[in-house]
Chains A and B, each alone.
Chain A
Amino acid sequence: MSDASSPKPTRTPGEVKVWLTAAGLTVGLLMISGLLLLIAFNGLSVFWPDRVSLFSLKEGDKQVQIAGSLVKTQQRRKADGSFTTELQIFTGNKDAYNLAFRYLDVSSIQEETQPKGLYVAERMEYGDALFTPVSLQLGDGRKIAGNDPAFMAEFDRLIEAGNDRRAEILQIEKKEIGDISARIKQLEIRARTQDVKAELATEQAHYQTLATAAQKLRTAQTADKLTYRLATGEERTQNVGDILHYYLPNDISFIGQFGVFLHSIWEFLMAEPREANTEGGIFPAIFGTFVMTVLMAVMVTPFGIIAAIYLREYARQGIMVQIVRICVNNLAGVPSIVFGVFGLGFFVYGVGGFIDGGVQHPIPPVWWFAAALGALGCVSGGVYLSTHNRTAIPTQQKRQKFLHKVEGTLWILSVFLVVLTIARCPWFHGFFSDSLPTPTFGTGGILWASLTLALMTLPVVIVATEEALVAVPRGVREAALACGASKWQTIQRIVLPSALPGVMTGVILAMARGAGEVAPLMITGVVKLAPSLPLDLSWPFIHAERKFMHLGFHIYDLGFQSPDSEGAKPMVFATTLLLILLVVALNLAAIQIRTRLRKRYMASAF
């Protein structure tokens, strides 16, 4: 470089632009990692028990104390445009303060301490309470002071007993009384036509005993009372039966914090939602998402595979199939809401209305018989032709082609006639016409939602399966055929097994897309709070007509329809984290399978 005689090296042209492209990639990577980190951090910190601080504030001339855990520090713009720093703290005690969060101006804080002996208790109503206990008034008249050494043990025992009683009440009210009301509803429908007074009376008596038992338990829940003091000095009384659990945030060690953390996560995953979904768990939403996604996968897989096998193995590869392939491909890019619109119009109002209320425009019986006979004839003709009459004698090729066409026509006709006989049957008045105008299937439900999503994800499965089928080497097929296997045998035993990982990739990708989709569900059957799960222990176990809860919709609903959006935010972040984990895990699985698949074919290429 120091050699003066050598020509001065000119700068490489366009290097700035190369760096600009590098900047583009960096921004993209930062965006995705930032987003995932943001969600992971916010989602996990919801469960972490923060230390609680006691703030001494100066409000005017008064000295005020308030306890709370720090949520975030932020800049607030004042009326004159300048910024001031303020803390957002979680104060809990929504019943006493009206809001669970408070903003403190940093300049007004005089002292901040973390005293020991503060309790945080999760309650059935009004969220968490932050307090120091004063006394415990037991149902049997005893009174234990907060500083009594026996206090903790007694408090633990009472909460334990309360939790047991609550589980019992839930069992009675949800399961047993739920069953009885279902039976009573059935009886009431039957009562229109027959006399069922005696049965009705028995059920009602049974209902009464159960209701009394539940009421008794409920009274027991309110027997023991806790008196506690807030940081502001106010004293309040609380039924111990309404406290779910408690911890001492400033006394427990890191391990203890971790224990509370795990407990909160467990509760979040397994509990029912409370307080308009802003407290408690999201078990029904997880379960609903799971059932919906599995139902969708069960429906989409066979159809997707059949369509793909047809397109790749059976259809003549010409311009027509190419067009169909492009169209199927593009269906994957059609907005999900369009599928939702179709689902509502066709499945919910069309098919659902048909199941509920029966045929709206029946055809005359004579015509119906003719159509039914025709359908029967066409189907049997189709089956016969498709299994017989395929001689391989070369002189009969013309005849064979003709028969092939006849067979196709018969199948098309039979589809048309079968649909006609079912949809216009004059004797079908619906399975649920008794309960009309309250719709059973004629309103959104898990079946329709998963069918809609199945339709939406069908192109994904078709495309992935086709790709997998193409990747199966020609040589393998030809070897199978040469060994005397029939076409179907080749597909069934050779092609499909080796394409299976590819098919699975497609199905997993479809499930990931289906699990994260909300827009079509909003109009085909998802609700903010479903009274019962779509799958439970009462007959017939699978309730395909029920509405359900969904993680994605839960996020939408909590974030936007909730009256206390600040209070709902932690819950939304936690739900978001779960949904993202689910979707990312499914995607990673699909990517993993695909990579392996590629490697295998690279090795086994003929």
Chain B
Amino acid sequence: MPPSFPDAPPPTNSAPGEPRPVPERFIVSRGTLRWDRFMNSAIVFGGIGIIVAVFGIFAFILLEIAPLFQGARVEEKIQIPLSAPKGSLVGLDEWSELPFYFDGGHEVVFQPAKGGPAQRLPTGLPMGTQITAQRHDPLKGRMMIGTSDGRVGFIGISYQSQYQGKGAPIIQPSVKADPLLPLREDPTPAPVVDMDYADAGDKKLFAAIQEIDGQRRLSTMSLRQKKSLMGKGKTEIERRDDLTALLSGVSPKRVLVAGTADSLLVTTDAGEVLYFYRQSSEWQLRQKFQPFDGGPVSGADFLFGQVSLVCYDPTGKVRIFSLFVPEGGSMRLFGLTKEFQPIQGPITYYRASQRNKSFLVGNANECALCYATTASVRRSVKLPFEAVSVAMDAKAEHLGFLDTKGALHLYEVSDPHPEAGLRAFFGQVWYEGFAKPKYEWQSTSGTDDFEPKLSLVPLIIGSLKGTLYAMLFAVPIALLAAIYTSQFLAPQMKRIVKPAMEIMASLPSVVLGFLAALWLAPLIENKVPSILLVILSIPISASILGTLWGRLPILYRNRLPKGTEYLLIAPVMLLLAFLGWQLGPVIERAFFVATMADGSQVADFRLWWPQFTGMPYDQRNCMVVGFMMGFAVIPVVFTIAEDALSNVPPALTSASEALGASRWQVVRTVVLPIASAGIFSALMIGFGRAVGETMIVVMATGNTPVMDEAGRLIFGDLGLGNGNFPLADHWNLFNGMRTLSANIAVELPEAAQGSTHYRTLFLGALVLFAMTFVLNTLAEVLRQKLRDKFKIV
């Protein structure tokens, strides 16, 4: 506010030198000023706030993803004076409040973690039973035992939690032994050294190593449960087998029974693993391998799911062998799939999680929590005590280390996203049951022991594939149309064409998707040759007309008003397209004849394509997607390219016309080079639109996350495909795909909040966001540069 005004009335009572007071009629009311200031502040901070909030999207998505890349946390909680004798078995309950030990005697001892007297519960086994081998299965809540007289059985350990009032529940353990079953029919005392058991529903199998007269023998015992209407029937022994002969003299150390109860794994003193398989009740040795190339094996154990075998040796090496059908083979055999970073010193204990593919290996001073799928060590912990063995609860949330003094150190494990990691998302991973490492997306399955396959590569490839075909179709049309509209079209038409294209841009993509899937896909499914001819007819009609037109005398040519070529070409093009459509079946009969299994010849492109190229043909394929996505991409590219072309200064085009250039020469030599940056930015924005397109892809593709080996081509390992056209194989025009965006739309509603799957989908969204944002920014910067250039011109 200026302090004085020249026309202000003279001051009445003011001292000289002081500014004259502002006359009242010029004074703004205080309310107005306050309101003004308040609104100014409100808009400034509101505006900044809104902009920050909009970019908060990015931050939020990052925050959701961050936990994926955090390692596991393993922390010591408490130490429990269990005072377990050496060699006893230690187990944890579900809440890790009542750990127990069992030293092979007649009692199981439970020690409350919060202190208090130990509870000793009798096993209920007959007196005189001498236990020589024991194993704990926390998931089923039981211990498996083998006795000195060659019998095996279970001691069930269960917990009941009782809620009393508001406090924590009181946990009551109970112990119950099942009757023991003799492994052999002859009554010779044969102490059990090691045993394992698997229950596959109707098939149940015991396998055990026994020591008879100083020789170790391997035997199996199959059980059968009688089917009964009244609950479970009685279990009876079906048959017993002695497999010692198949060992060919080596001494077995440890036996494992696969969950399907039809195969056995035996480790031997000679550093070998033997794989036995039972086919029509006859046992045979299927495979014999040396996990450490002849070196000693200190142990081998199954991973959760019992398809992979974790082998470890006295030098700290850990290797995983999985069952798969090798390339060219016919049987599932074990093969080396993963090798881990070795840990210091020999591995003395192993525990596999009963929830996912994590496991724990370690020795007295160090232990490592590993995740099998990605072959990564999630967390390695130095132990401040000497650990003898370790127990893991069924939820894999707690670890109990037993030290040499018999105390139990309870550790808390928190690893919510073991499956995650850069390698899992972007690298090749050798999944269980696969013959080689692969990029694969399969996030969910019906079974518990499923291994999530979270590679984003097939989805990114799918996105790029769809985009590529959309661009192949859309870019020529959009650019040609833009050139024509900006350079040749009559201005009054231009005022109609541009809004028409903008309306095309706003067509909801769900509509395009619906038309693609329910109208276009069935329409062109068996008309591929016709479609190809129709596409060909467009340039043919243009060149025929152009050539003829060029030869027409100028007198006739001038009769056509300037900028109406597009009208003249329409009937010609339609006619040719119609001819092409009708000719399609003829072409098909001539060139695309498939030979059927019975030797007959059928002219059908759909059959011919897979026969000729070895690639599948789907009804909802890339051609359909490309065409319909073209509807979304054409207007975007058109609008921006047209703007760039129209902005070329008329002085330049006029100058070149004055020098005698024909109208196409002006376009080719002057307009296109100057507008090239703008056209490029149009292409990038069109690309961004196509990459993120969701509904068209969801509806018009089969949504199968196939990759056709494409990832291998891009992401290293330049292997060649199997088809006749190894390169084309990867970008098959006639099959479907699944894109990042479609994957999110389909799977996110079913993903549990906070799960790895959920966060991985967020990662997919971030990839999409980054891709489009970077592309658009580049395009924008290019356009700005272009604008500056014109200012100079």
Contact = CB atoms under 8 A, between A and B. Distances in A.
Contact of B745 (A1, A32, A337, A587): A337
A380 interface: no
Contact of A556 (B499, B513, B546, B769): B513
A21 B484 contact: yes
Contact of A24 (B484, B509, B604, B745): B484
B489 interface: yes
A516 B32 CA distance: 43
Contact of B748 (A11, A333, A344, A346): A344
Interface string A119-133: 000000000000000
Contact of B508 (A14, A23, A338, A579): A579
Given A20-B539, A314-B43, A315-B47, A79 B36 contact: no
Interface string B47-65: 1111100110100110010
Among B507, B545, B573, max chain A CB count under 10 A is at: B507
Nearest to B690: A335
Given A336-B692, A516-B508, A19 B772 contact: no
Contacts of B638: 28
A341 interface: yes
Given A38-B515, A386-B37, A580-B507, A415 B49 contact: yes
A13 interface: yes
User: How many residues of B sit at the interface, in one of the four size bands?
Assistant: 35 or more
B134 interface: no
A512 to B, nearest CB: 5
Contacts of B588: 81
Nearest to B500: A32
A342 interface: yes
A31 B479 CA distance: 15
A22 B36 contact: no
Given A32-B501, A455-B54, A345 B692 contact: no
Interface stretch (A53-61, A141-149, A482-490): A482-490
Interface string A184-226: 0000000000000000000000000000000000000000000
A37 interface: no
Nearest to B41: A386
A30 interface: yes
A68 interface: no
Interface string A456-472: 00110000000000000
A552 B780 CA distance: 31
Nearest to A323: B777
Interface string B543-582: 1011101110111000000000111111001100000000
Interface string A34-78: 010011000000000000000000000000000000000000010
Given A14-B668, A19-B546, A587-B506, A335 B45 contact: no
B111 interface: no
Interface stretch (A105-113, A229-237, A518-526, A532-540): A518-526
B541 interface: yes
A331 to B, nearest CB: 6
Contacts of A603: none
B235 interface: no
A96 interface: no
Contact of A23 (B41, B480, B553): B480
B331 interface: no
B585 interface: yes
Interface in B223-271: none
Contacts of A487: 36, 40
Interface string A1-24: 100000001011111111111111
Interface stretch (A244-252, A262-270, A302-310): A302-310
A307 B501 contact: no
Given A337-B692, A552-B508, A25 B484 contact: yes
A459 B28 CA distance: 37
Contacts of A340: 744-745, 748
Contact of A587 (B476, B503, B541): B503
Contacts of A373: none
B557 to A, nearest CB: 9
B602 A81 contact: yes
B593 to A, nearest CB: 8
A83 interface: yes
Given A32-B501, A337-B741, A519-B745, A556 B694 contact: no
Contacts of A80: 600, 602
A588 interface: yes
Interface stretch (B202-210, B358-366, B657-665, B726-734): B657-665
A22 B488 contact: yes
Contacts of B706: none
B565 A18 contact: yes
Given A337-B692, A337-B744, A559 B518 contact: yes
Contact of B55 (A327, A382, A556): A327
A582 B594 CA distance: 47
A355 to B, nearest CB: 16
17 contacts: A16-B543, A23-B480, A25-B481, A27-B573, A28-B481, A28-B638, A32-B500, A32-B504, A306-B43, A306-B50, A310-B46, A338-B61, A339-B57, A345-B64, A455-B57, A518-B694, A519-B694
Q: What are the 10 closest A-B residue pairs judged by CB atoms, nearest first? A: A310-B47, A335-B692, A24-B480, A14-B664, A516-B508, A16-B546, A19-B546, A386-B41, A519-B694, A21-B484
Given A24-B484, A486-B33, A587-B506, 11 more contacts: A17-B668, A18-B546, A22-B568, A23-B538, A29-B497, A32-B631, A80-B602, A333-B692, A341-B748, A342-B60, A345-B762
